[in-house]
Structure 1
């Protein structure tokens, strides 16, 4: 069975998280992804914690890829890259704007070599606007997009997100979407194009429902005070007797009614959306939740259709029956003899006819350099000379 992206070649210049996760998704569905790395390896390889000499985080977003060490600052390195571009379909660039252009390898140059090339550049703030060249990280993109101000509890300060929302949802996922859209367009036009993906833009777009709430209500949403952010008893987290937590997501009236009946508080049913009674309802439900442990409550509501779940830690999540059934966690025991287990996420997109494959193959730095060069027509002696010259 062929995968949907078989025959598509990707040159991956990205590092750390946004680009590597995007290209891993492409690789899982059959694309040939060649990581073009610094000869010593991309910086993400050295980000603690380590498994032997490589970052565990690197393994998490770089399976199913090839690796080529190449110095793009040397003229011979540039020529090799241009030859690769002539045969490639996609380039993923995560440098700041103009870095590749200053090397003489920007989109305008490369599209002359290959008019079908799809060039996806992932930046913090995009290729236009006053912050075009500003440095940033996930926290900064979330701040500017308006997300951070909405994270946290009613009385507390803006909270840090436990995951890199802008990097992954704003950068990785939108890059995959952009690339697939450009591939679809190329089928019609025969031409590639530039995909300008800004992590701030992507993060901001996740606020669609929240902005709708703001527009319709006329008031700025307040941290921890709205229906879906902890302001109502019907949609909230509650601490249990053992210090662990459960979540109630009973937004619909039928779920709320079932919950209230189950805990013996039918008088709360008509008060679900009464904003003036929410502090009272929350306090009452919280006191009830403190009478049992988290798992006792999960068992208590096991037969109730009310959107009630435990708040799990990562190790608990990795063993949850639903996660296992969906093959969303892959654990490699004693990975490479390190004494540590490598845990990676599975393929989140389930296709009935051409499902993705998480092969769990990880390339060493420059492992495929000779193979790639030979594919371009370089002889063994030429490859040896390039290595002596520090080009590869």
Structure 2
């Protein structure tokens, strides 16, 4: 049995982080009902980008929240829910009569999870934005990319998913533990600016000790160090090098055919020249040559795999990191003992009446 089996969660459908959070909670066994916008509300039921991957494990329940009958049925579902998650702009749920206070009046033990870019309060709370804007304001984006280029967006992993969805999941689960003890739920305000700022804690600690510079591409973990970065290979593909510790660096140097005296690790004044030497050596062979050369060593050198390649790597195959054939997708994570790491397919949609019957 999965660890969240028996937990009832209402997901008010949206793009990005709330969808990902709903997937993670469903992967862990929660009974999640995804309230999607009905065709009568102005959008087709399955028009969202998540498809069968991000929408796996929970049924869509089409609703029109402006319809009084649908609205009343949603309130009845809230009465039976353990948690609710939503990602609308501040004030939207309150205007619909579905804000935290209204819901708590009906169901005092309800945990109300909210995710936005800027948070529920603050001078920018009502402004629009996307992942790139939130991580720009938190300071995270500035540290990413080459020294001579503008900051490089890390896909939408840092704001939407790590700083947003996973913080929402963490907060909701913490509040559910409290609610089971006290019988009283609470609202969880997950802001992507807050979450992505929290993810930079290490770099604030290093900066306070004079060990991190705001000059991008000059630090230990931002590509400034020649032993912690990616290199192009002869075939146009890449390897990732993460030889931070001296003994790992020694294995890297040996694999490249160099001697320790010719390539001192922490003489930062020589990092630029050392990078050029490493780059020339890696460019002399194909990526898979280097992958084979360093396999089984302590050099911390791995091939940079594409989204297409990653599911076929022997390690990922052995662990079942990816599943599916027609649609390949990441398996649920983390793993739990005695629980197969397999996603539940996306069920057929339910009507509101069917959803009510299921939770009655």
Give the alignment's TM-score, normalised by structure 1.
0.86
Q: State the 4+ residue runs in structure 1 displaced beyond 6 angstroms.
A: 41-44
Tell me if the contact between 1:122 and 1:198 (Cα under 8 Å) persists in the aligned partners: yes
Aligned residue number for residue 25 of structure 2: 26
Deviations 1:126-148 (A, max 9, x none): 11211111111111111111122
Against the structure 1 CA distance between its residues 212 and 45, is the aligned structure 2 distance closer, same or farther, given a 3 Å change threshold? farther
The alignment partner of 1:271 has SS state of coil
Measured against aligned partners, the alpha-carbon deviations of 1:141-196 in whole angstroms (never above 9, x if no partner) come to: 11111122111112111112234321011111111111110111112211111011
Q: Deviations over 1:45-98 (max 9, x none)?
A: 435xxxxxxx4x322211110221111112222211111111111111111111
| Contact 1:29–1:357 under 8 Å retained in 2 | no
For the structure 1 residues 303 and 105, does the alpha-carbon distance in structure 2 shift closer, same or farther, using more than 3 Å as the test? closer
Q: Does 1:369 align with 2:347?
A: no
Q: Could you say which residue in structure 2 is the equivalent of 1:9? A: 8
Aligned residue for 1:236, secondary structure, equals: strand
Count, aligned residues:
358
Q: Secondary structure at the match of 2:337?
A: coil
1:303, distance to aligned residue in structure 2 (A): 3.3
Q: Measured at CA, do residues 72 and 128 of structure 1 come closer, stay the same or move farther in structure 2, by a change above 3 Å?
A: same
Q: Aligned to 2:268, which of 257, 263, 275?
A: 275
Is the contact between residue 45 and residue 62 of structure 2 (CA under 8 Å) also seen in structure 1?
no
Distance in 2 between the 1:356 and 1:119 partners? Answer: 28
TM-score, structure 2 normalization: 0.94
| 1:296-321 Cα distance to aligned partner (Å, 9 max, x none) | 11111123211110111111111111
Classify 1:250/1:180 alpha carbon distance in 2 versus 1 (closer, same or farther; 3 Å).
same
Cα gap change, 1:65 to 1:219, in 2 (>3 Å): closer
1:189 matches 2:174: no
Would you say 1:255 and 2:248 are equivalent positions?
yes
How far has the Cα of 1:281 moved from its partner?
Answer: 0.6
Using the TM superposition, name which of 34-43 and 223-232 deviates more: 34-43
Q: What is the rounded CA distance, in whole Å, between the counterparts of 1:88 and 1:219 in structure 2?
A: 46
Query: Partners of 1:247 and 1:44 in 2: how far apart?
Result: 42
CA displacement at 1:356 relative to structure 2: 5.4
In structure 1, what is the Cα distance between the partners aligned to 2:123 and 2:104?
A: 27
Match in the other structure for 1:386: none
2: CA distance, partners of 1:246 / 1:310: 4
Alpha-carbon distance, 1:209 to partner = 1.1
Whether 1:166 and 2:151 are equivalent positions in the alignment is no
Q: Is the 8 A contact 1:38 1:69 kept in 2?
A: yes
1:313-332 to 2 correspondence within 5 Å? 313-332=306-325
Structure 1: any 5+ residue segments left out of the alignment? 48-54, 334-341, 378-392
RMSD of aligned alpha carbons: 2.0
Mapped contact 1:16–1:43 kept (Cα < 8 A): no
Of stretches 244-253 and 269-278 in structure 1, the one that deviates more from structure 2 is: 269-278
Q: Is the 8 A contact 1:64 1:361 kept in 2?
A: yes
